[in-house]
Amino acid sequence: MAVETRPEVAEPAPIAPLFAAHIARFNAGVQSGDFRDMISHFTDDATATFVSLPFGPFRGRAEIEQAYRDHPPDDTIDVLSTTEPDERTIVARFAWHRTRQTGTIRLGHRGEDLTELTVEFDPGVDDVDAARSASSSPPASALDPYALRRDFPILDQEINGHPLVYLDSASTSQKPRVVLEAMDAYYREYNANVHRGIYTIGEKATAEYERARAKLARFINAPDAHEVVFTRNATEAINLVAYSWGRRNINRGDAIVLTEMEHHANLVPWQLLVQERDGDLEFIPITDDGVLRLEVFEVLLKLRPKLVAFTHVSNTLGTINPVREMVEMAHAVGALVLVDGAQAVPHVAVDVQELGADFYAFSGHKMLGPMGSGALWARRELLEAMPPFLSGGEMIREVHLRRSDFNDIPWKFEAGTPAVGDAIGLGIAAEYLGAIGMDAVREHERDLVAYALDVLPREVPDIELYGPMSANLRGGVVPFNLPGIHPHDVAQVLDRYGIAVRAGHHCTMPLHERLDLAATARASFQVYSTREDVDALAAGLIEVQKLFGA
């Protein structure tokens, strides 16, 4: 009698115990948000690389631990198989539990200690989804405002029975959840003063504060993090230069060249300085469509000014100024250059080394960071030569009854207890934008501006728009007026429909005088803005006109 035989089925190869233990610790960290147990098994000189993701590589246990704090994964891993090509290496195939996307993990080890972690996603895996699984940071590929909106809790609400349409990001941006959580974690878990305590949470606070400085330096491509001074905003950063550099270098008859489009923050400090030092202010005029007249600038440079200060992107007109060209023109006659980057850093790629300016100021609250945060970047040799701006604790090295020795830069300019939580939040905001990619941010806003410049005059009769009419020449700002209706009334009626726009002079009264305008309304965009927001604005403006019989 024949005996039926069944084909043998190979048993799946067992998972390498060391790798299984690592993944168990990883998955536990995803569930708890605490990856310290997993990190403790890495050696001091371990490396971690995440191929195709917009962060890393990381070297050393401390950097790896920080990486998992900054980019906590939100999905667990299922191990599919492991192989051991040699006695110090484990190679595993894995899948994210929720999305089922696959990839390879290479784990180097010495005994039970981990020396190398390399994570690579399979070809064809969408980098957007891979980044979301691997990190709370947004994707590095093309910007998807609909996906990003989910990161901003404030946008998930109704105003007067209508979904909130927030079009005032040039005034202040909304904050993503990762920024809010980072600040909350500081105050809940390691609230302590920096550069003082030698206890655990004090040392952690100092490390996170200085790490935020390094993140900002990377974001603007500063050559040295010590050239980044934390301030409350761009206004304070400009005042720092006016008081510290200006009072030492501006004398009777010295000229400072500004422009007609400056925010008051880049005008009033220089007015006070020249009044005190008996200097002179000169102004680069603009064309009727809001573009600087560089031929006049060339003439003004014959005065051999000590300083040229101008905005990178106009907060009112959106005009993007040719910074590199203007810096080269100013340097050719020996002038230093300060750039107000408050409206540029959140919206365009800023490389301070490429731009060549001497001072660059920006605010945190306009770049998805907290209010009360900002920074000044300046060349090291300038900062070292400048006297302190404010005095007291922290900015000193030694204090005696009749004299004091000052600290090194940047701490020489950071007197007193700083806004630690705000600085940490600002660092996270820079990472968030960097993970999206500033080229993608710029392209998104260029699309929105082009759409608005097309839709608004087509859909809203008699609307008046100001500034360059090319989206290539302006940032995400669209100022406008409805003839016969005051901008304040426009804004108030729009609010009935949940639409938030700015109305007034936008801290640019001289610019409005130049354009013969008492005020304007202004719509402005950020990464979370959509074409539907522009459509809602157009529909709201039609309702405004109906109400006023226009």
> Environment class of residue 450 by beta-carbon count within 10 Å: exposed (0-12), middle (13-18) or buried (19+)?
middle
Helix, coil or strand: residue 248: helix
Query: How many whole angstroms separate alpha carbon 426 and alpha carbon 369?
Result: 5
Distance, in Å, from the CA atom of 541 to the CA atom of 457, rounded to the nearest integer, reads 11
Helix, strand, coil percentages for the chain (3-state, nearest 5): 40, 20, 40
How far apart (Å, rounded) are the C-alpha atoms in residues 454 and 450? 6
374-407 core/surface letters (b: 16 or more CB in 10 A; e: else): bbbbbbeebbeebebbeeeebbbeeeeeeeeebb
Cβ contacts of 108-111, under 8 Å, gap ≥ 24: 109/18, 110/43
- The answer to whether the beta carbons of residues 512 and 505 sit under 8 Å apart is yes
Containing 535, the helix (H) or strand (E) segment is: helix 531-547
**Can you tell me the distance from the alpha carbon of 182 to that of 70, in angstroms, rounded to the nearest whole number?**
9
The answer to whether the beta carbons of residues 472 and 531 sit under 8 Å apart is no
What is the DSSP annotation of 482-493? BTTB-HHHHHHH
Q: Are strands 113-121 and 158-159 parallel, antiparallel or unpaired?
A: unpaired
Residue whose entry in the numeric block shows the structure tokens 């405002």: 145
Cis peptide before 57 (omega within 30 of 0): yes
Residue 258 β-bridge partners: 283
| CB 280, CB 253: distance < 8 Å | yes
Angle in degrees, CA 38, 151, 363, rounded to 5: 100
What are the structure tokens assigned to 452, written together? 């608005």
Which residues are part of the catalytic machinery? 507
